[in-house]
């Protein structure tokens, strides 16, 4: 929610007045060739119009006309643990912020600390993704871009989230299991192989690849900037802007 | 997210130009007493300045200066089932919308359909309120007023939500149990008395009244407009506006 302050209207009035009065004076001089007259008209105009401009600004601030609302997008990254979702989604979120948009980043790892009592069985994962999807859709409805990165292994629950959202861009970070397991940044694959973690996606729980994602990223072949750039292109096109 | 369209800038340029040029012409006439001259200056000015004004508008649209962000408030209604939370919160949300604010209404009854697998035991209620509180705080952080109405019987979880939010207004709708049970709009108290619903707040599950709420409403003594009006006063004061 932004409202224009009185200070802004006054500053605009002054900045316009300087430009406007210089033009008027020049004009009067060109037409009449009388320097003193052009100065006199300029002086009176400067004083009288600054107040008028301020009133004009205040009146327009009340009007909605032409204040275009940008309908945001929910960008949903799905893929195995260690596929590179978080890294690319951070890059995309930063780029959107740079362009002046409101962005909320939702990440599987951080959100589980706040959304309590969420386990990793199929119904628990399902409920978790549906809740996160609801959160994303509420943010979207209120003008906020959402960049979400969740393993979100089940097609059903991703489709549910797509249904809740208005503009949904599903991005499959399609890094092969072998590569993710080799990277194993958090040591989770090792734990899952030892049986210390149950229901780990890719090991003893399935990953259902998206049937019709807006984008598929191949992190073994493209850099973060290349992959993120492709996502950004799709997002910007979706909101009717050229990237 | 609002951006000003080019059409808005053009319309503002025209509306200003009509006012501005009439003033300039009048001014030239007053100073010179030459009607033709004043018309000539007016005509040239009209054409030259309309473009200048448009450029000026576009430049200012890029500037953040003086675009004041209104930091919103989370209004949290707590109270027994049938206490009148939903009715008053709807009234407050409508009033805030009328004032031009973005408002998201979160209601216990509707949200349980979307946030799946939420039961009514203490840990389940607790987790539910924490999730809703997280949702509310994310909306608040993104400039959206939240009007939430939940039985939210436990002091602990309400305190948790207060901690997540920036500007939190806790409203205790303090309708006596006997009155709520007599109203029994949804027939829930009857079911709870017959043992068909378990863990029903006020019957076989405790309601912990807020220890330090911003407001206490007495629906047996005040109308929806009176109670809602008091809430609105507190909210408007909180954002630095007079209601």
For residue A14, the SS3 value is helix
- Is-contact B199 B120, C-beta < 8 A? yes
> Quick check: B130 contacting A, CB < 8 Å?
yes
- Is-contact B132 B106, C-beta < 8 A? yes
Q: What percent of chain B has pLDDT over 90?
A: 55
For B54-100, write each residue's pLDDT tens digit: 888 888 887 777 777 789 999 999 999 999 999 999 999 999 999 98
pLDDT category of residue B10 using cuts at 50, 70 and 90: confident
DSSP structure string for A131-143 = HHHHHHHHHHHTT
pLDDT of A108: 84
Question: Do A38 and A79 fall into the same domain?
Answer: no
CB contact under 8 A, B4 and A40: no
pLDDT of B61: 80
Question: Do A78 and A168 fall into the same domain?
Answer: yes
Q: Where are the alpha helices (DSSP H) in chain A?
A: 6-32, 35-61, 85-98, 108-114, 122-141, 155-164, 177-183, 188-193, 224-238
CB contact under 8 A, A70 and B28: no
Mean pLDDT (whole number) for B45-58:
80
Chain B residues within an 8 Å CB radius of A68: 2-5, 8
Chain B closest-CA separation from residue A104 CA (Å)? 8
CB contact under 8 A, B28 and A5: no
CATH of residue B119? 3.40.50.300
- Out of A9, A89, A152, A157, the active site residue is A152
* Chain B, window 168-207: residues with a beta carbon less than 8 angstroms from a chain A beta carbon: none
Question: Do A33 and A119 fall into the same domain?
Answer: no
Cβ–Cβ contacts within 10 Å for residue A110, how many?
11
Please classify residue B234 by burial: count the beta carbons closer than 10 Å to its beta carbon, then call 0-12 exposed, 13-18 middle and 19+ buried: middle
Buried b (16+ CB within 10 A) or exposed e, A165-199: beebbbbbbbbebeebbeeeeeebbeebeeeeeee
pLDDT category of residue B120 using cuts at 50, 70 and 90: confident
Question: Do B49 and B141 fall into the same domain?
Answer: no
pLDDT of A147: 98
Picking from B34, B61, B88, the residue at the C-terminal end of a domain is B61
pLDDT of B118: 64
Chain A closest-CA separation from residue B69 CA (Å)? 5
How high is the mean pLDDT of chain A? 89
pLDDT tens over chain A, length 243 residues: 566 777 787 778 788 888 778 888 888 888 888 888 888 888 888 877 777 788 888 888 877 777 777 899 999 999 999 999 999 999 999 999 999 899 999 998 778 766 665 677 888 888 889 889 999 999 999 999 999 999 999 999 999 999 999 999 999 999 999 999 999 988 999 999 999 988 899 999 999 999 999 999 999 999 999 999 999 999 999 998 877
Buried b (16+ CB within 10 A) or exposed e, B103-124: bbbbbbeebbeebebbeeeeee
Considering just the CA atoms, what is the radius of gyration of chain B in Å? 27
Q: What is the domain extent for residue A29? A: 6-61
Mean pLDDT (whole number) for B106-112:
82
How far apart (Å, rounded) are the C-alpha atoms in residues B16 and A57?
9
Residue A197 lies in a domain: yes
Residue A127 lies in a domain: yes
* Chain A, window 5-64: residues with a beta carbon less than 8 angstroms from a chain B beta carbon: 5, 7-9, 11-12, 15-16, 19-20, 23-24, 27-28, 31-32, 37, 40-41, 44-45, 48-49, 52-53, 56, 60
Question: Do A56 and A78 fall into the same domain?
Answer: no
Question: Do B79 and B124 fall into the same domain?
Answer: yes
pLDDT of B2: 61
Question: Do B52 and B160 fall into the same domain?
Answer: no
Question: Do A80 and A15 fall into the same domain?
Answer: no
**DSSP label at B222?**
S
Residue B230 lies in a domain: yes
B67: closest chain A residue by CA: A4
Vertex B152: Cα angle to B119 and A136 (nearest 5): 70
Residue A136 lies in a domain: yes
CB contact under 8 A, A5 and B138: no
Q: Which of A4-8, B15-19, B149-153 has the lowest mean pLDDT?
A: A4-8
Chain A residues within an 8 Å CB radius of B17: none
- Give chain B's end-to-end CA distance (angstroms, integer): 25
**Structural domain count, chain B:** 2
Chain B residues within an 8 Å CB radius of A117: 123-124, 127
Residue B112 has pLDDT above 80, yes or no: no
CB contact under 8 A, A4 and B123: no
Q: Which residue has the tokens 């960008």?
A: A75
Chain A residues within an 8 Å CB radius of B48: 23, 27
Question: Do B51 and B128 fall into the same domain?
Answer: no
Active site residue A83: no
Best residue in B1, B32, B35 for a mutation probing chain A (most A CBs within 10 Å): B1
Cβ–Cβ contacts within 10 Å for residue A127, how many?
20
**Residue A81 CA, distance from chain mean position:** 23
Please classify residue A112 by burial: count the beta carbons closer than 10 Å to its beta carbon, then call 0-12 exposed, 13-18 middle and 19+ buried: middle
Question: Do B17 and B102 fall into the same domain?
Answer: no
How far apart (Å, rounded) are the C-alpha atoms in residues A55 and B134?
42
Mean pLDDT (whole number) for B210-227:
96
How far apart (Å, rounded) are the C-alpha atoms in residues B131 and B165?
12
Residue A68 lies in a domain: no
* Chain A, window 64-83: residues with a beta carbon less than 8 angstroms from a chain B beta carbon: 65-70, 72
- Out of B9, B152, B211, B223, the active site residue is B152
Q: Which of B39-53, B89-103, B174-188 has the lowest mean pLDDT?
A: B39-53
For residue A105, the SS3 value is strand
Residue B68 lies in a domain: no
pLDDT of A232: 97
Structure-token pair, residue A139? 């943010």
Nearest to B69 by CA among B9, B2, B126: B2
Chain A residues within an 8 Å CB radius of B23: 45, 48-49, 52
pLDDT of A121: 85
Residue B209 lies in a domain: yes
pLDDT of A17: 80
Question: Do A200 and A120 fall into the same domain?
Answer: yes
Chain A residues within an 8 Å CB radius of B11: 65-66
Question: Do B106 and B11 fall into the same domain?
Answer: no
| Longest alpha-carbon distance in chain A | 94
Per residue, the 3-state secondary structure of B59-124, as one string, reads HHHCCCCCEEECCCCEEEEECCCCCCHHHHHHHHHHHHHHCCCCEEEEEHHHHHHHCCCCCCCHHH
At what angle are helices B6-32 and A6-32 packed, to 10 degrees?
Answer: 50
How far apart (Å, rounded) are the C-alpha atoms in residues A210 and A130?
16
Residue A162 lies in a domain: yes
CB contact under 8 A, B16 and A53: yes
For A125-146, write each residue's pLDDT tens digit: 888 898 899 999 999 999 999 9
Cβ–Cβ contacts within 10 Å for residue B213, how many?
18
For B159-178, write each residue's pLDDT tens digit: 999 999 999 999 999 999 99
CB contact under 8 A, A67 and B8: yes
> Quick check: A130 contacting B, CB < 8 Å?
yes
* Chain B, window 152-171: residues with a beta carbon less than 8 angstroms from a chain A beta carbon: 164
pLDDT category of residue B116 using cuts at 50, 70 and 90: low
């Amino acid at each position: 929610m932004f409202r224009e302050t009185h200070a802004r209207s006054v500053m605009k009035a002054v900045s316009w007045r300087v430009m406007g009065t210089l033009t008027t004076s020049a004009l009067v001089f060109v037409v009449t060739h009388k320097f003193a007259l052009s100065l006199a008209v300029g002086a009176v105009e400067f004083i009288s119009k600054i107040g008028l401009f301020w009133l004009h600004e205040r009146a327009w601030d009340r009007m909605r006309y032409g204040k275009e609302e940008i309908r945001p997008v929910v960008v949903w990254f799905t893929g195995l643990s260690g596929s590179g979702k978080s890294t690319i989604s951070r890059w995309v979120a930063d780029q959107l912020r740079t362009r002046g948009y409101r962005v909320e980043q939702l990440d599987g790892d951080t959100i589980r600390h706040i959304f309590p009592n969420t386990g990793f069985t199929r119904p628990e994962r399902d409920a978790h993704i549906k809740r996160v999807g609801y959160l994303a859709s509420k943010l979207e409805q209120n003008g906020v871009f959402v960049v979400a990165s969740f393993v979100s292994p089940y097609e059903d629950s991703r489709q549910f989230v797509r249904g809740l959202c208005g503009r949904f861009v599903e991005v499959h970070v399609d890094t092969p299991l072998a590569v993710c397991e080799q990277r194993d940044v958090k040591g989770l694959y090792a734990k899952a192989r030892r049986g210390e973690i149950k229901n780990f996606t890719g090991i003893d729980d399935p990953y259902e690849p998206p049937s019709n994602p807006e984008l598929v990223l191949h992190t073994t072949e493209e850099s973060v900037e290349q992959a993120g750039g492709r996502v950004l292109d799709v997002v910007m096109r979706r909101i009717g802007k050229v990237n």
